[in-house]
Amino acid sequence: MSETARTGGLRERKRAATQAAIERAGLALVLERGYENVTVDMICEAATVSPRTFFNYFGSKEGVVLGALPPFPPDEAVHAFVRASGPSVLEDFLTMVTTALSVHEPHPELSRTRRLAIQRSPELVDRMIARMSDLEDQYAAVLLDRFAAGGRTPDAEPGLEDEARMVVGLAMTVLHYVMRKRRGSPVDAAGGREAIHDAIDLFRRATGDAARGRP
């Protein structure tokens, strides 16, 4: 490994450690005192960083508690999905999203603390819902591009946008199930794809039973 690569790797590890320290300090304070009673200065003191360092990593205390949004698939993955013509749009969509998520492995304990902090603040719950709504809008637009590439348009099919949003909603449900199932397990692309395929099989069985009127 070259000296440049070693230096770059060390810099990234130090950056990740500083970010995690700020997040842990902020979340601990929010759980202890309540979101409304915590200030940026308090977080800086607890994390032993300067306000300048804080704002290099986060734009606000809200950003510390909510954390980063799940990574959106890169442009090349989106283009490949739009051009694909597989029989299952849902499965293709889930594969694209899961692959993007596999490069982002949140620390289990940090994720648990974050969920608790958000659940205790109606303001943060509303902000998280708004952020996820924006993300779902972006995904729905990608699905409409996929439909358009296959010759389907909202003008010809008035319910097409609803279909796109239904695919996003189903995908989010499957992903939520997978995340709960794999909570605490290592996140990797192969394991994520296997879990998604298992979840899709289970989804097909459940919807098939429902369609046949089985309990």
Both structure tokens of 22: 């700020």
Please say whether the beta carbons of 100 and 70 come within 8 A.
Answer: yes
Q: Residue 47: what pLDDT? A: 95
The predicted pLDDT at position 2 comes to 57
* CATH number of the 3-64 domain: 1.10.10.60
Distance CA 25, CA 48 (A): 9
At 119 the pLDDT is: 93
The pLDDT value given to residue 213 = 42
Q: How far apart are CA 199 and CA 178, in angstroms?
A: 7
Determine the Cα–Cα distance for residues 127 and 121; give it in Å rounded to an integer: 10
Contacts of 203 (CB under 8 A, 6+ apart): 170, 174
| The residue type at 10 | L
DSSP per residue, the chain: --HHHHHHHHHHHHHHHHHHHHHHHHHHHHHHH-GGG--HHHHHHHHT--HHHHHHH-SSHHHHHH-PPPPPPPHHHHHHHHH---S-HHHHHHHHHHHHHTT----HHHHHHHHHHHHT-HHHHHHHHHHHHHHHHHHHHHHHHHHHHTT--TTT-TTHHHHHHHHHHHHHHHHHHHHHHTTTSPP-HHHHHHHHHHHHHHHHHHHHHHHTT--
- Residue extents of the structural domains in the chain: 3-64, 75-211
Give residue 95's pLDDT.
Answer: 84
Residue 85 has a pLDDT of 87
Give per-10-residue mean pLDDT for the chain (215 aa): 58 88 95 95 96 94 90 94 89 86 70 91 93 94 96 94 94 82 56 70 70 41
As a whole number of angstroms, the distance between CA 72 and CA 78 comes to 9
Q: Please tell me the predicted confidence (pLDDT) of residue 210.
A: 44
The pLDDT, as a whole number, for residue 212 is: 41
Taking each continuous run of H as one helix and of E as one strand, the counts in the chain are: 10, 0
Q: State residue 183's pLDDT score.
A: 62
**What is the structure's pLDDT at 177?**
81
Provide the pLDDT for residue 182. 65
